[in-house]
Every structure is written in structure tokens, then in C-alpha cells.
Copies of this chain bind each other. A is one copy, B any other.
Amino acid sequence: MTERAEGARAGRARGGRRAGDSGTREAILDAARRQFADRGYDGATIRGIAADAAVDPALVHHFYGTKERLFAAAMRLPVVPSEVLTAAFAEAADGPGSGPGGLGEHLVRVALTVWERSEVLGIFLGLLRSALTSDQAADMFRGFITDAILGPVAAVARARAGDDGDGDGADSEDEAAYRAGAVATQMLGLALSRYVIKLEPVASASADDLAAIIGPTLDRYLTGPIGRTGPVGRTGPVGRP
């Protein structure tokens, strides 16, 4: 509901139409919801959304900056996921101030804190419900998670795990994406189990307990041994049926 990022940007607006600003922003957000739903996260463009809202693309950039910020505002997310993640990585890298656990534990704590803001949880459940009933919505959800969450996580995996020694940059990038995907499986499953299915004792476990058990998993997925022998999903004697 609060759309803070948008508010902050609107406050900096220079020379925009005064009374019309909020109406223009609503028209942009309505167009964004339509375009994201129709074209998916990847297919929607700032240019297309501007055309749908009958405004100049520069105005959309001016109000929202990036496609992810526009998506977050359109979905009424009170946070911008990639920014939360970037801040969490920076905190964990800062040593003393980062708490007793490693990066993995810190990520679990940050995720629990964000998810347990009720407006985030409601939106997550809404996106998930749509993804289960519509391929288009699943496309949109997947595109958003890939861009806003897997992207930053893969960047950290790449920076921390480094190249795998064969000097093959492309392979290393592929590996970083796979590591980020593994992190996503664990964290999406934690959210599903704790908030949707409400499986006990996971649903009522403390953040400390969950960080202690799941944190080391994320650390291994990000930087530890993961047993890969070649490009993901393209080799190996046992393929997908």
C-alpha cells in the first residue's frame, strides 16, 4: 500500500504536472499490471508500458527508475528485493557487524524479517496462487524472481566462489546461476512450508533455529562443493525422463 520508493521519487519530481501526478502514476501502474500480466516480466518493457499509459517513456523512468522498481510498485511490494539482497550481502561482508553466523545465516534472517511483514506475505501468496492457476502468471513470477532475486544471488556466488579454475568464464557464469537456483529452491520451500502449508515445527520455529539449520545450506550452495561435473542439464547419463 505504501509504495515508498515511488513516494520518494515523486517527491523529487521536477516540474511535473502538480494535481495530475498521482493520476499519471496510477495510469502507469495500471498499464504496468496489464503489461506484466499479458507479456510476462521479461516481455514487458518500460516503452510498452508508457505507450499503454499514453505517457512519455522518460516519465516512467523518472518515476520508477527500473523495471524491477516499477514491478514492485505495481504489485504494491513495500520493498525492492534486489535492494534488500544487495544490502544484506554488504552487511554480511562487513565482518564484526554481521553477527555470529555466516552469509547464509544472515540471508535466512533477512528473508524471515521481510516475509513476516504482512503485506509482503499477502503479495507473495497472491503471486504464487496466480502462478499455480495460470501459465502467464507463472511466467511473470519466474521472470521477476530470476531478475530481482537470482541475479543478485548469482553475482555473489560468482564473486565468492570465483572461477572454477578451467578459465572458462561462461561455464563459471552458468555455475553461478545454478548455485543461485539451488538457493531459491531452499528459500521458496521454507516460505511455502512455514507460511502456506504451516508445517510444524518449521512454522513456529524461531528465526535463530531456522538460520542455524538452513544458513549452512545456503553457504554451501553459494560457495561450497556442489558435485557438478559439467554444464548443468545438458550432460550426464541420467537425464530428465
Residues of A within 8 A of B (CB): 109, 112-113, 116, 125, 128-129, 131-133, 138, 141-142, 145-146, 150, 174, 177-178, 181-182, 184-190, 192-194, 196-202, 204-209, 212-214, 216-217, 220-221, 226-228, 232-233, 235-241
| A197 engages B188 (CB within 8 Å) | yes
Would you list the 3 A-B pairs with minimal beta carbon distance, nearest first? A189-B189, A212-B227, A208-B236
Looking at chain A's contact residues, the main secondary structure is helix
| A226 (CB) vs chain B CBs: closest residue | B213
- Complex Cα distance, B142 from A214, in Å, reads 21
| A197 engages B116 (CB within 8 Å) | no
| A228 (CB) vs chain B CBs: closest residue | B209
A131 surroundings in chain B (CB, below 8 A)? 196-197
A112 surroundings in chain B (CB, below 8 A)? 240
